[in-house]
Structure 1
Amino acid sequence: MRILIVNVNTTESMTEAIGAQARRAAAPGTEIVALTPRFGAESVEGNFESYLCAVGVMDAVMRYDQPFDAVIQAGYGEHGREGLQELLEVPVVDITEAAASTAMFLGHKYSVVTTLDRAVPLIEDRLKLAGLDARCASVRASGMAVLELESQPERAVDAIVQQAAKAVEEDHAEVICLGCGGMAELEDKVRSRTGVPVVDGVAAAVTIAESLVRLGLKTSKVRTYAPPRAKRITGFPLPDSLGR
């Protein structure tokens, strides 16, 4: 089984970290291929960058020229998953939905701890669109920019752990979701401080994608995610052939 996991930003070191986390979660025999978009922002922290990354992710996937069995979009609260589902028959899993749906097996309410406050509405909207918002206790911002997760790791950990603890104590969350692909490897620190289960979206997405492939399930093509209709698309950066 081969799973593509696509970073939504163009920072290679973050792609490497996401790929490493995915490989730790993968079952024996699962090959993880981590991709970085050819274009886009170095970090994604708003609507403009999120829409831009959606095109970059689709481009990266459609330019990959080897067989694969599933795709993971490794951006929390970002746009683009639906476009990938139109382009592909294989399962497409978004880490936002993977983390939240996993959390609901583990407790009554979950909270998401993310980066900057401006990302909170994007995550709230994605959870609502996915029908996962009813059991979301809160989406909290750590105040740390995406790139600061690498440049100031100790400060980032402290800020994330602090907000996770407040989510449990003040918002009555019973599970914490790490709301950024770059927060991989923080589960143990957050768990030890809060005493609740902690879900990393990358790891959750890998296990969900593996399960869908093993079940032989593919994306439905009868209506919502039917392939794009054939027409001239001027200047679009994707390859000429959009179908698979």
Structure 2
Amino acid sequence: MRILVVNVNTTASMTHAIGESARKVAAPGTEIIELTPDFGADSCEGNFESYLAAIAVMDKVLNYPGEYDAVIQAGYGEHGREGLQELLDVPVVDITEAAASTAQFLGHKYSVVTTLDRTVPLIEDRLKLAGLTDRLASVRASGLGVLELESDPERAVAAIVEQSRQAVENDKAEVICLGCGGMAELEARVSEATGVPIVDGVRAAVTIAESLVRMGLSTSKVRTYATPRPKTITGWPISQATRTVHA
């Protein structure tokens, strides 16, 4: 089984960290292919960057030259999953939805701890659209930018731990979801500080994608995510195409 794990930003070191996290939970025989978009922002922390990332991720996936069995969009609260589902015949799993759905197997209420406060509404909207807000206790911001997760990891861990504690103590969360693909590898430290299960969206997405492939299931093409109708799309794909797509 081969799974494409696509970062939503252009920071290659973060793509690699996401890929390594995915490999740690992948079953024997599952190959993880990490992809970085060819254009876009070095971190996604707002609507403009998120919409740009949606185009970049679709472009990158459509230009991947090999075969694959599933795609994971590794951006928390980002746009674009629906477009991928229309374009592809394989399962598409978004880490936001993967983390939240997994959390609901582990406790009554869950909270998301993310980066900047401006990303909170994006995450809330994605969870609402996915029908995953009924058991959402809160979405909390650590106050740190995405790139600070790499440049100042100890400060990042301290801020994430503090917001996770507040989510458990004040918001009555019983599970914490790490609200950024770049937070991979932090589960143990946050769990030790809070005493609750910690869900990383990348790892959750890998196990969900594997399960869908093994069960022979993929996106319904009957209505909402039907394949786009053939038509002329000017300037698409943006990157140099290596296979035929809708154009």
d(CA) in 2 for partners of 1:214, 1:135: 29
**Matched residues in 2 for 1:104 and 1:84: separation?**
25
What is the CA–CA distance in structure 2 between the aligned matches of 1:224 and 1:242, rounded to whole Å? 20
Aligned equivalent of 1:209:
209
Deviation at 1:105, TM superposition (A): 0.2
1:241 corresponds in structure 2 to 244
Residue 165 of structure 1 is matched in structure 2 by 165
Tell me the secondary structure at the aligned position of residue 213 of structure 1.
Answer: helix
Distance in structure 2 (CA, Å) of the matches to 1:47 and 1:216: 34
Deviation at 1:100, TM superposition (A): 0.1
| Structure 1 residues 124-150: Cα deviation after superposition (integer angstroms, max 9, x where no partner) | 000000000110000000000000000
**What does the per-residue CA deviation read over 1:5-37, in whole Å, with 9 as the maximum and x for residues that have no partner?**
000000000000000000001000000000000
Partner secondary structure for residue 3 of structure 1: strand
Paired amino acid for 1:46: G
Q: CA deviation at 1:219?
A: 1.1
Q: Give the Å deviation of 1:170.
A: 0.2
Is the aligned partner of 1:228 residue 2:242? no
How far off is 1:218 after superposition?
1.4
Which residue of 1 is the match for residue 9 of structure 2? 9
1:40-70 per-position Cα deviation (integer Å, ceiling 9, x unaligned): 0000000000000000000110000111000
Q: Bigger CA drift: 214-223 or 109-118? A: 214-223
Tell me, in whole angstroms, the C-alpha distance in 2 between the residues paired with 1:45 and 1:242.
30
Structure 2, unaligned stretches of length 5 or more?
Answer: none
TM-score when scaled to structure 2? 0.97
Alignment-mate amino acid for residue 145 of structure 2: A
Q: Which runs of 5+ in 1 are unaligned?
A: none
The letter for the 1-side match of 2:41 is: A
Q: How does 1:19-38 map to 2 (within 5 A)?
A: 19-38=19-38
Say whether the 8 Å CA contact 1:109–1:173 is kept in structure 2: yes
Residue equivalent to 2:86: 86
Q: Percent identity between the aligned chains?
A: 76
Q: Is the 8 A contact 1:110 1:136 kept in 2?
A: yes
TM-score by length of 1: 0.98
SS in 2 for 1:177: strand
Distance 2:62 2:102 in 1: 28
Distance 2:21 2:28 in 1: 14
Give the CA deviation at 1:242.
2.5
Counterpart position of 1:43? 43
Higher mean displacement: 234-243 or 11-20: 234-243
Q: Does the CA-based 8 Å contact 1:89-1:220 persist in structure 2?
A: no
Ranges of 4+ aligned residues in structure 1 off by more than 4 Å: none
How many residues end up aligned between the 2 structures?
243
How far, CA to CA, are the matches of 2:104 and 2:178 in structure 1? 14
Say if 1:95 and 1:201, in contact at 8 Å, map to a contact too: yes
Give the Cα separation in 2 of the matches to 1:34 and 1:205: 14
Query: Equivalent residue for 2:151?
Result: 151
Q: Deviations over 1:50-91 (max 9, x none)?
A: 000000000110000111000000000000000000000100
Quote the Cα distance in structure 2 between the aligned partners of 1:72 and 1:167: 27
Match of 1:187 in 2: 187
**Residue aligning to 1:135:** 135
- What is the alpha-carbon distance in structure 1 between the residues aligned to residue 244 and residue 142 of structure 2? 42
Supply the distance in 1 between the matched residues of 2:103 and 2:158 (Cα, whole angstroms): 22
Shift of 1:241: 3.1
Q: How does 1:87-126 map to 2 (within 5 A)?
A: 87-126=87-126
Report the Cα offset of residue 224 of structure 1.
0.6
